Amino acid sequence: MCEFLQLVLAQDGHQVVCASSGERALEEIRSGDEIDVIVTDLMMPGVTGMEVLEEARRSLPDTPVVVITGYSTVQNAVEAMKAGAFDYLPKPFKVDEVRLVVKKALERREIALENRRLRRELQSIRERSSDIIGASREMQAVFKLVEKVARTDATVLVRGESGTGKDLIAREIHRQSLRAAKPFVSINCAALPETLLESELFGHARGAFTGAVSTKRGLFEEADGGTVFLDEIGDVSLALQAKLLRFLQSKEFIRVGETSVRRVDVRVIVATNRDLEEAIERGDFRRDLYYRLNVITVHLPPLRDRREDIPLLAKHFARKYASSLLKGPVTFSKEAMAALVAYDWPGNVRELENAVERAVVLAEGSELSLEDLPDEIVRRVSGRAGAVGAGDDAAAGKGTRGTGTETATGPEAAARAVGAVRFDEAVDSYKRELIAKALEQAGGVQARAAEILGLKRTTLNEMMKRLGMTRPDTRRRPGPADAAKILDE
């Protein structure tokens, strides 16, 4: 029977392994080799078909098992189906019946594997580094690019201002890649002098320089099979740039103080906040290294260019630090959030995180107020509000003679100037974008759009009336649906 099935299925292009006994079948199942379908007779001397089925369900849960049974053992076949068998073939059977059931089993396996892949992808999204947050179009474009490049081994150049999260993006690329189970090592190239940086990257032999009391493996060796992240690549000296170029071309290197060539398999991701093109023109950066690094570029926008992400980030950091400090849930006052949205954040996400951490630490209650924010933020926002107020007075012919009415400054003025105008208008604008996108996805059906947004239909209707929306507004492309949480604010 085994040889007969092997011959039939081999004619259909299948690679068939014939196990002459139940014991041999168990060995094949436990070998770790990939098996697409198992066909087993129920009645065998020694290890039975039911035992083969049970082992297959434990070791190969995605592999369908087809059992063969005689007319007198149909009840056993039913028991096998209850135990997880995909299907059964009663003896005697026709060749076409074998082919059909194997074909269906293979289709079932493909579906199971696809479902498992989708579950992994969903889990991957859920496990995405918790500090990488963004509903803006700019950040959604970054996430899509990261997903694409992660599947390759291409060198990636991450560009962005200080504090935009370049290191988080590098880690996310590694986490989504096939190298995720291997090491991720990073180094700030601007933090070390040239000689020490070379030793850190490539390693050194004992006695290679003063203080080298023992042999040391470099980061490239430590990360073999994984990913190396070189932050601030624009600060590397020209001499070391030449060695990096050779390494990127061949993945070969020589430890400091040695002569033997070593080889590793690593992916390299680099980042910089410098203008490398300008550095090339000045002669501070090698053009050939730039071309080698600039295979794929990920541009991270500054926080001031994606203000709609500020509330999401601020709330995330507030939850994060309230939890670490064993505090209860915290919220932002309208004035505090208005100030956060209005501030330009020269330090980007890093500065925002520090500001929110400070606010959580200082807050006496569950609401983070304007007074809990760093003075620099309040001062800058207040100064902007004062300048706007003064300009409006001048335009209206309201000069400031002598000791006339003073322009209001301070937190209250900032809240009025930013919270009453800029923040509310920004939120309303974003709501319009989200609703328009939902209506577009729902084909103009408001009930479906409300379902997409997680709202009641009546709530959506009332919101559209308040926002003056009589039809979908497609003038601007909105952010993703998961940002719809802002609608509840």
Classify 231 as helix, strand or coil: strand
Q: In the prediction, which pLDDT does 39 show?
A: 92
Residue 384 pLDDT level (bands cut at 50, 70, 90):
low
For residue 487, is pLDDT > 80? Answer: no
Query: Which H or E element spans position 67?
Result: strand 65-69
Phi/psi of residue 262, each to 5°?
-115, 155
- Picking from 364, 357, 374, 371, the residue whose alpha carbon sits closest to that of residue 322 is 357
For residue 122, is pLDDT > 60? Answer: no
Q: In the chain, pLDDT over 70 holds for what percent of residues? A: 82
Residue 141 pLDDT level (bands cut at 50, 70, 90):
very high
Domain 2-122 has CATH 3.40.50.2300: yes
Q: Would the CATH topology of 2-122 be identical to that of 307-488?
A: no
Fold of 137-301: Rossmann fold (3.40.50)
Q: In the prediction, which pLDDT does 399 show?
A: 38
Query: Taking residues 118-131, what's their average pLDDT?
Result: 56
DSSP 91: S
For residue 473, is pLDDT > 70? Answer: no
DSSP 235: G
| Contacts (Cβ under 8 Å, ≥6 apart) of 325 | 360, 361
- Any alpha helices (H) in 31-94, and if so which ranges? 49-59, 74-82
Query: Where do the DSSP E strands lie in 245-312?
Result: 252-253, 262-263, 267-272, 296-299
Q: In the prediction, which pLDDT does 71 show?
A: 60
Residue length, the chain? 489
| CA dist., res. 156 & res. 297, Å (int) | 6
Q: In the chain, pLDDT over 90 holds for what percent of residues? A: 47
Residue type at 312 in one-letter notation: L
- Domain locations along the chain: 2-122, 137-301, 307-488
| CA dist., res. 200 & res. 194, Å (int) | 10
Q: In the prediction, which pLDDT does 202 show?
A: 94
C-alpha pair distances (Å), 354 with each of 335, 350, 390, 415: 19, 6, 32, 21
Residue 469 pLDDT level (bands cut at 50, 70, 90):
confident
Q: In the prediction, which pLDDT does 309 show?
A: 93
Reported pTM: 0.57
For residue 129, is pLDDT > 60? Answer: no
Tokens standing for residue 440? 């577009």
Q: Tens digit of pLDDT for each residue in 362-382?
A: 998 899 999 999 999 988 887
Query: Taking residues 442-455, what's their average pLDDT?
Result: 78
Phi/psi of residue 49, each to 5°?
-65, -30
Among 28-32, 130-134, 342-346, 483-487, the least confident range: 483-487
Q: Tens digit of pLDDT for each residue in 199-241?
A: 999 998 888 787 777 888 999 999 999 999 999 999 999 999 9
Helix 424-441 with 457-466: angle, nearest 10 deg: 130
For residue 183, is pLDDT > 80? Answer: yes
Sign of CA dihedral 19, 23, 25, 31: negative
Classify 263 as helix, strand or coil: strand
CATH of 307-488, one of 3.30.70.1450, 3.30.70.270, 1.10.8.60, 1.10.3470.10: 1.10.8.60
Contact call for residues 205 and 257 (beta carbons, < 8 A): yes
Q: What is the CA radius of gyration of the chain?
A: 32
Q: Mean pLDDT, the chain, as a whole number?
A: 82
Phi/psi of residue 238, each to 5°?
-60, -40
- Picking from 270, 265, 235, the residue whose alpha carbon sits closest to that of residue 251 is 265
Residue 247 pLDDT level (bands cut at 50, 70, 90):
very high
Query: Taking residues 461-470, what's their average pLDDT?
Result: 81
Query: Taking residues 384-407, what's their average pLDDT?
Result: 41
421 or 172, greater pLDDT: 172
Query: Taking residues 178-182, what's their average pLDDT?
Result: 92
For residue 353, is pLDDT > 80? Answer: yes
